[in-house]
Structure 1
Amino acid sequence: MKMLPRLLALSLAVALPGPAFAAQTFALVVGVDQYPNDVSLDGAVRDAEDVYRSMSAAGFTVTKFTNAEARKDDIRKAWTDMVAQAAAGDTIIFTYAGHGAQMPELIAGDEADGLDEFLQLPGFDRNRYEETSKEIIVDNEMNAWFGEAEGKGVHVLFVSDSCFSGGMSRSVTGKTRLAPAVTVKLAPPSQEAIAGANLKDIDFKQVTVLAASLESQPTPEVIIDGEPRGALSWSFARAVEGSADRDGNGIITRIELEDYIFSNVKNRSEALQVPNFMPQVARSESEVVVTLTRGIPVNNGTTTETADNDNGTTTPVVEKTIKSAKDLGWTGNIALQIDGAGDKPKNADGTGTPFRWDVASGVFYTPNGDVAAENVDAERIQSVVDKYVLLDFLKALASQNPGSVSLTPVKDIYAAGTRLRFDAPPGRYPNMLVFNLANTGEVQFLDMQAAGTSSSQFKLTDVEIVKPFGADHLITIWTAEPVDAIGAVLADRAVTSQTLLQALLTRLDGKEASVAIQPLYTRETL
């Protein structure tokens, strides 16, 4: 994905001097599903409403525009008002969920690829550009907006759950947030679109941009909790609720936000997306991007100690409340559509966009339209359903404490014969479990490292992709809880997803554990 390219060279916001709970956070939230002159979306307004709720609960001053309310003049005025109200050290967060698009550069020689990017509002009609050009926000204009905040010492975080380029190799049925490009040379929509071009070489020190995908990837709408959503918006909303605040001190650093967003976007998009931070590297470990204005406690946690800050002050540290999977929305069921004559398995009475089982072909599809498993017959269907019930449970745990693992090379999908490597580093907890949930529904035990034993990085090297094809999920769990009993369950060659789920519910649900999920989609040929 290509997102506001001239911001690629910007420096990240400097760290706030200490927690500074007196600083205020303003937020501007825009979400558009309904595009009268283009393909409409399904989940952008849900994204905006979710982010709005989380930021309001965090104590931010929030202004929201959705669908027809999202008019450029009104958005511009809201931004101007926020900059006027904000003081040095305050933060403005601007989140956008909707279509992005490209157009020939407005200023000759301004862009390396000859293209400007823009956010497309519902009033824009590319067939009537002169009359509707004011209903796009060009990257040049956003530079000018950000420059206004920069001039007052106000921090800016721009979160764009949209798309400007890229394609995917997996057959996903959801919509992408990419509108058709404008192909003819057009006049700048405003003076700001010209003036903003002159800011491309300015070293912004207080602006961070978080885009949904890399340039080479699309931004698809994916199914989360049964509904079309943007994985970045969903993850950002959970981050602001406090899940990204790993140490519970009421601030989210760039490092904390990165760790949280990268892991959960991977989990919720099934590895279709890799978010893109700009600049790509944090300036310091303590660099703050979000201050939870409501202060602490976070998630009704209990203050247990204080942390010393560099400026000589102390900040209460909160022991977070770990929610159960059910409190996080897990139901123990998935929704399943059966095409053909077949009995419905247990735990398949969930609601929302369903998985789909084509009985005649034996193909089992995810709600996103991916092939999850092949050769699924009446004997295997229950184990496949049980796998996804367990996977949803693990995703719920990961949403409040995600871990990080890697698969090399990185691809949307892997063809037969491809060789790859999987790495799971030691975590911050003493115990680790590694296992695979195969596309057949089988549970494959890979490793256990318990406290008191030699802890090391777990590696699978030179793994070759072979039949059966579909979607595997490599799982790593780190915890301070005892894992011997879970390990004993995993070591049983006859272990099922249902048995493992019961062990995890008993031992880890509502307990502190970090979970990493690495989707692995395969097929015979690409």
Structure 2
Amino acid sequence: MMKALPRLLALSLAVALPGPAFAAQTYALVVGVDQYPNDVSLDGAVRDAEDVYRSMSAAGFKVVKFTDAEARKDDIRKAWTDMVATAAAGDTIIFTYAGHGAQMPELIAGDEADGLDEFLQLPGFDRNRYEETSGEIIVDNEMNAWFSEAEGKGVHVLFVSDSCFSGGMSRSIKGKSRLAPAVTVKLAPPSQEAIEGANLKEINFKQVTVLAASLESQPTPEVIIDGEPRGALSWSFARAVEGSADRDGNGIITRIELEDYIFSNVKNRSEALQVPNFMPQVARSESEVVVTLTRGIPVATADTGTATTTSDAGGAAGTDKVIKPASDLGWTGKIALEIDGDAQKPANTDGIGTPFRWDVASGVFYTPNGDVAAENVGPDRIQAVVDKFVLLDFLKAMASQNPGSVSLTPVKDIYAAGTRLRFDAPPGRYPNMLVFNLANTGEVQFLDMQAAGTDSAQFKLTDVEVVKPFGADHLITIWTAEPVDAIGAVLADRNVTAATLLQALQTRLDGKEASVAIQPLYTRETL
């Protein structure tokens, strides 16, 4: 979680950002670290940085990237200084970081409510040789000073931190956490900025937005996305910048558009392990802009001086986005599966990447993240469970372009037997809605269909009790303007399989405009 700038929470951030300046430029500073010579290394942070770098370069941003040993504080600081010097009022600087975060006793007495400063840990830092290597951390106080420099020029800042500083989880995840061990002894400030930055907590930042990977109570684990270890926030942010978060296709991503996109996709890709955290927690205005894409940079017309939008994406800005079929988004119709024991290999399990795992003797089916997805899975049930996750990957691909939002109450990583839950699917902006559950058994459970209305109505499941069998269910809601009667007929068949439903969804909705929400529900007998 990003508690690296806790003082920002105390700032008064009520003033709305103005709209983007004409021909505003976006600069980006990208840092990703896997290799930590003096600490546990990570597996997906550099992959995150490369992904974000590609998406921002394609969007026309001026990007500087540092990965692994290149990520030295002096070089990062100079890149930031150069960007601030070059940027004009109304421009934007985006700083993304994927790597370890950590905590240390506060550098300035009384500066932090919890007595701890947070810092980004670069590869050159060795907590056992602090005096010699303290120059290779970036403390929250220092970042306040950096942001203040941009603020002073009227430059907007978006800081995206895919790291964590504290927290724990109930579920057993085998992926690495982006949390480095805390420094436990009182240390000298690593720079003068680390002292001066402590005094900036009273500054009324008006143009700084921080997007953190998770809440303070949660860790930031690396999770498997498309077969590879990744940070769910970085993956989602890269897709957002590619244009998926630009819901109205006008070339700008507002804070509200980014919130809607990031919250939903981080939940989908982390299997509900993370809830991102924005600071300030509420958008300054409904129209607050956080990212301007090249295809929609405002320009002044010669006759009136008013802003119009341009497009270099093959279509006019402001029109509906092109919806890609799932196969264009990396979906293959297969998963990778490792079988522990003697059993026939199910169909559609020759995918690549980190595999699911089936322990034949115990009957336990594990996700690539290490979660228990299903129990009592024998040869008679394994194909149904495999088909469920093939379908789920298809739905995640659909959701990555147009995610919806649903909720499960209470919010937990995992739910014990006997827990009572409430599931809410709010009305969508499309008239037709489908609601169904993909059970841990592989069974498809039809819950609701609303068709041919002007607006879909809210769907609720109240007082639902967690019972056997345990594992991972996924509650799915789809909103669309496409006809859904044929899909509803398939769902209404009590013997419908995930494979049959997949075929119906491919035929009717693949590549069509539809909003998809996925609510993971992980259960076990006791916590």
Q: CA deviation at 1:88?
A: 0.3
Change (3 A) 1:384 1:99: same
Q: CA deviation at 1:295?
A: 2.9
Give the TM-score of the pair, scaled to structure 1.
Answer: 0.95
**Structure 2 CA distance for aligned equivalents of residues 189 and 30 of structure 1:** 20
SS at match of 1:476: strand
Q: CA deviation at 1:71?
A: 0.2
Change (3 A) 1:11 1:241: farther
**Structure 2 CA distance for aligned equivalents of residues 209 and 287 of structure 1:** 14
Deviations 1:10-49 (A, max 9, x none): 3559655445450000000000000000000000000000
Change (3 A) 1:466 1:453: farther
Look up the match of 1:138: 139
> Higher mean Cα deviation, 51-60 or 14-23?
14-23
Change (3 A) 1:476 1:309: farther
Query: Is the 8 Å Cα contact of residues 4 and 117 (structure 2) preserved in structure 1?
Result: no
Deviations 1:82-120 (A, max 9, x none): 000000000000000000000000000000000000000
Look up the match of 1:308: 303
**Structure 2 CA distance for aligned equivalents of residues 77 and 257 of structure 1:** 29
Change (3 A) 1:498 1:34: same
Look up the match of 2:420: 419
Change (3 A) 1:297 1:482: farther
Q: CA deviation at 1:381?
A: 0.1
Q: CA deviation at 1:422?
A: 0.2
**Structure 2 CA distance for aligned equivalents of residues 150 and 480 of structure 1:** 43
SS at match of 1:145: helix
Change (3 A) 1:410 1:187: same
**Structure 1 CA distance for aligned equivalents of residues 22 and 383 of structure 2:** 51
> Higher mean Cα deviation, 451-460 or 125-134?
451-460
**Structure 2 CA distance for aligned equivalents of residues 279 and 308 of structure 1:** 39
Deviations 1:282-307 (A, max 9, x none): 01110000011343799xxxxxxx99
SS at match of 2:460: strand
Q: CA deviation at 1:392?
A: 0.1
Change (3 A) 1:11 1:243: farther
Change (3 A) 1:339 1:60: same
Look up the match of 2:244: 243
Change (3 A) 1:398 1:446: same
Query: Is the 8 Å Cα contact of residues 416 and 522 (structure 1) preserved in structure 2?
Result: yes
SS at match of 2:21: coil
Q: CA deviation at 1:452?
A: 3.0
> Which ranges in structure 2 are unaligned for 5 or more consecutive residues?
311-320
Query: Is the 8 Å Cα contact of residues 34 and 122 (structure 1) preserved in structure 2?
Result: yes
Query: Is the 8 Å Cα contact of residues 308 and 314 (structure 1) preserved in structure 2?
Result: no
SS at match of 1:220: coil
**Structure 2 CA distance for aligned equivalents of residues 429 and 273 of structure 1:** 28
Look up the match of 1:332: 333
Look up the match of 1:202: 203
SS at match of 1:200: helix
**Structure 2 CA distance for aligned equivalents of residues 410 and 387 of structure 1:** 24
Change (3 A) 1:307 1:288: farther
Change (3 A) 1:487 1:71: same
Deviations 1:236-294 (A, max 9, x none): 00000000000000000000000000000000000000000000000111000001134
**Structure 1 CA distance for aligned equivalents of residues 246 and 15 of structure 2:** 18
**Structure 2 CA distance for aligned equivalents of residues 293 and 443 of structure 1:** 42
Look up the match of 2:350: 349
Change (3 A) 1:20 1:151: closer
SS at match of 1:184: coil
Query: Is the 8 Å Cα contact of residues 10 and 278 (structure 1) preserved in structure 2?
Result: no
Give the TM-score of the pair, scaled to structure 2.
Answer: 0.95
Q: CA deviation at 1:201?
A: 1.1
SS at match of 1:196: helix
SS at match of 1:80: helix
Deviations 1:135-177 (A, max 9, x none): 0000000000000000000000000000000000000000000
Deviations 1:342-385 (A, max 9, x none): 11000000000000000000000000000000000000000000
Change (3 A) 1:400 1:14: farther
Q: CA deviation at 1:456?
A: 1.6
**Structure 1 CA distance for aligned equivalents of residues 16 and 30 of structure 2:** 24
Change (3 A) 1:309 1:488: farther
Deviations 1:329-353 (A, max 9, x none): 0000000000000110000000000
Q: For the aligned residues, what is the CA RMSD?
A: 2.1
**Structure 2 CA distance for aligned equivalents of residues 467 and 181 of structure 1:** 40
Q: CA deviation at 1:309?
A: 13
Query: Is the 8 Å Cα contact of residues 23 and 298 (structure 2) preserved in structure 1?
Result: no
SS at match of 1:462: strand
**Structure 2 CA distance for aligned equivalents of residues 157 and 239 of structure 1:** 14
**Structure 1 CA distance for aligned equivalents of residues 51 and 13 of structure 2:** 26
Q: CA deviation at 1:9?
A: 2.6
Q: Is residue 77 of structure 2 the alignment partner of residue 76 of structure 1? A: yes
> Which ranges in structure 1 are unaligned for 5 or more consecutive residues?
299-305
Q: CA deviation at 1:7?
A: 1.4
